[in-house]
Structure 1
Amino acid sequence: MDSKPVLFALEGSQTFGEAVAEQLDISLAEHEHRDFGDGEHKARPLERVRGRDVYVLHTLFGDDNASVNDKLLTLLFFIATVRDAGAARVTALLPYLAYARKDRRTKDYDPVTTRYVGQLFEAMGVDCVVALEVHNRAAFDNAFRCRTLHLEAHGLFVDEIRDDIGDRPVVIVSPDAGGTKRADRFRDVWVERTGDQPPTAFLEKRRSEGEVSGEAVVGDMEDRVAIIVDDLVAGGTTLLRAVDACRRKGASEVYGVITHGLFGEGSEKLYDNETMTRLLVTDSVRPRMEPGDTGKVTLVSVAGLFADAVRRLRGE
């Protein structure tokens, strides 16, 4: 294989791709993308890939320019194209993995879409899938029979807020019982970086017909800075419910630490919420709305995580 990796960033993911390429001290590889009037599309590399180590980056979140399904198919077809063109190895870099939340059956005859997506990647000839903070890591690992690499932004978040919080006591909070493993992992990183060993807490949460309920808080947070840890925020209902519950339980301040800021309909209320001290999200998804003037929302770059993953896979 050639000494340098070949990195493509597909339509809509170029800004993130350029940041990764800069970290790797390379240029993004050129490709062509065309949309046709009937809704079909095609993408092809404009550089030689035969015998080379190829990385294809795409964040699989639907926006005003392309649906999640369009992006997924574009990525799958592009992986197959570079494989047909003789690439020695093809790795998919996914800042946001679509359908990762549908990883199990909760009702009779439910689809297990995460597994189906994994099968599609394998069918296209991918050698490795690198994803940032999927909803359920065990389900992600089990869904793919090819090599997988799971990335976490916990260390970046801790570094971003530790000076703000200083030596004040902290509690790490999961907005529901199902996210306690994620909160525990964040706590582990907090301990590694600060030496402090904070307690954890979680909230009761029930969802029925799209409605979220449950107000009980399990854990002590009186006069502590509460750090709510979750993998994504869409409309913000779950996050703000958790913020209010932490305040009622006696938290002195509340931080939100969210990997994927999807910011769907109704999320504008996150920008002017008076009870939340600060909200941190990564740039895994290009935000649909820009942070307001309150300064409460901070975007944390994870391009370095993906550059490090490329180096790791290449044995550098």
Structure 2
Amino acid sequence: MNIEEEQKFTVFSLNSNRPLAEKVAESLNMKLGKASVIQHSDGETKIVIEESVRGQHVFLIQSNCHRVNENIMEMLILMDALKRASALTINVVLPYYAYARQDRKALPREPITAKLVADLLQTAGADRVIALDLHAPQIQGFFDIPVDHLSATKLLAEHFVNLGLGGEGTVVVAPNHSGVSRSRQMADCLKVPIAIVDKRSNTPRAPKSVNVIGDVKDKICILFDDLIDTGTTVALAAEVLKEKGATKIYVAATHAVFSG
């Protein structure tokens, strides 16, 4: 095989979601890059790349949920190894961007951890980041490198169309005010109105009052959010929609974190 004919890119995966990476590699008719992840007895992680990546465009698929900090550290260590092994570019594919909810200072003396993660990625050697449904789209501005912000909204909308949903009997519901723009995109795809669950509270677990802005009586409701963590917000929203007369309630989210 001539140099010109050699494969010029490769896909690596670590431990966070290897089945997803294997499906990606299979669709590209290629095998995942070979790398060993070794855990030392004191908790340290060592990664050894077992093939040449010199001059190659490397795509690293590593979601950052479930064992968040370990997955982030694995990712950074492999990126450092790739950089030192003379990879041409390092493209980080983040199906789930951890710490995205810490995107601003809501209280005095709080960190902006989403920016810290962006800084770590760039310092470790990332040339491009590919993310899916960031909790806060403005996180793209935390990077000085290209960020491809992909959305699953149209895919999820197609699923509901295939179920026969849409039209006058359906409404897309934002489970809170921060999800209005996301829910409007879904509503536009389905050509249906939106409603908003208006929750006034000091803490997510102790709401003072909950109401619904919009008409959901005798409607099929699609609760749409970017992620479900403990499920408290979605469960509360579903209860309120039921009380307000919704006939059926569907829940859609890109990131099924499901902590605990």
Calculate the TM-score normalised by the size of structure 2.
0.92
Residue by residue over 1:121-176, the C-alpha shift from the partner in whole angstroms, topping out at 9 and shown as x without a partner, is 111110011111111112x1111111101111112212222232345521111000
Question: Aligned-pair distance for 1:106?
Answer: 0.7
State the 1:3 CA deviation. 3.9
Higher CA-based Rg: 2
Matched residues, number? 254
User: 1:208 is matched with which residue?
Assistant: 202
Instruction: Check whether the contact 1:6–1:54 (CA below 8 A) recurs between aligned residues.
Output: yes
Q: Could you tell me how far 1:207 is from its partner in structure 2?
A: 4.5
Secondary structure at the aligned position of 2:163 is classed as: helix
Rounded Cα–Cα distance in structure 1 between residues aligned with 2:205 and 2:249? 24
Shift of 1:52: 0.4
1:295 — aligned with what?
none
Distance 1:107 1:167 in 2: 41
TM-aligned CA deviation for residue 115 of structure 1: 0.5
CA contact 2:200–2:210 (8 Å) conserved in 1? no
Q: Cα offset for 1:219?
A: 0.6
Match of 1:111 in 2: 111
Contact 2:205–2:232 (8 Å) recurs in 1: no
Match among 46, 49, 53 for residue 42 of structure 1: 46
CA drift of 1:225 comes to 1.1
Secondary structure, aligned partner of 1:205: strand
What is residue 6 of structure 1 aligned with on the other side?
10
Residue 172 of structure 2 contacts residue 192 of structure 2 at CA under 8 Å; is this kept in 1? yes
Aligned residues of 1:7 and 1:56 also touching (Cα < 8 A): yes
Deviation digits for residues 242-275 of structure 1 (CA, Å, limit 9, x no counterpart): 111112222221110011111123xxxxxxxxxx
Greater share of residues in strand: 2
- Alpha-carbon separation, structure 2, partners of 1:23 and 1:107: 45
Q: CA deviation at 1:212?
A: 4.2
Q: Tell me which residue corresponds to 2:62.
A: 58
2:249 maps to 1:243: no
Match status 1:135 vs 2:139 = no
Tell me how far 1:88 sits from its aligned partner.
Answer: 0.7
Task: Give 1:19's aligned amino acid.
Answer: K
1:210 is displaced (CA, Å) by: 4.9
From the superposition, tell whether residues 4 and 160 of structure 1 become closer, same or farther in structure 2 (CA, over 3 Å): farther
Using the alignment, how far apart are the partners of 2:165 and 2:213 within structure 1?
25
CA distance in structure 2 between the partners assigned to 1:167 and 1:121 by the alignment: 41
Offset, 1:200: 0.7
SS of the aligned residue for 1:216 comes to: strand
Give runs of aligned pairs for residues 45-194 of structure 1, distance below 5 A: 45-62=49-66, 67-138=67-138, 140-166=139-165, 169-190=169-190
Structure 2 distance, partners of 1:245, 1:199, is 18
Q: Which runs of 5+ in 1 are unaligned?
A: 191-196, 266-316
CA distance in 2 between counterparts of 1:86 and 1:188 reads 45
- Give yes or no for contact 1:60–1:94 (8 Å, CA) kept in 2: yes
Cα-Cα RMSD: 1.6
Aligned to 2:256: 261
Q: Distance in 2 between matches of 1:245 and 1:95?
A: 31
CA contact (8 A) 2:204 2:233 kept: no
TM-score by length of 1: 0.77
State the percentage of identical aligned residues: 30
| CA displacement at 1:199 relative to structure 2 | 0.7
Is there any run of 5+ residues in structure 2 with no aligned partner, and where? none
Which residue identity does 1:117 align to in structure 2? V
Q: CA deviation at 1:4?
A: 4.4
> What per-residue deviation string (whole Å, max 9, x for no partner) do you get for residues 74-99 of structure 1?
10111111011111110001111110
Distance apart, 1:235 and its partner CA = 1.8
Query: What's the secondary structure of 2:126's corresponding residue?
Result: coil
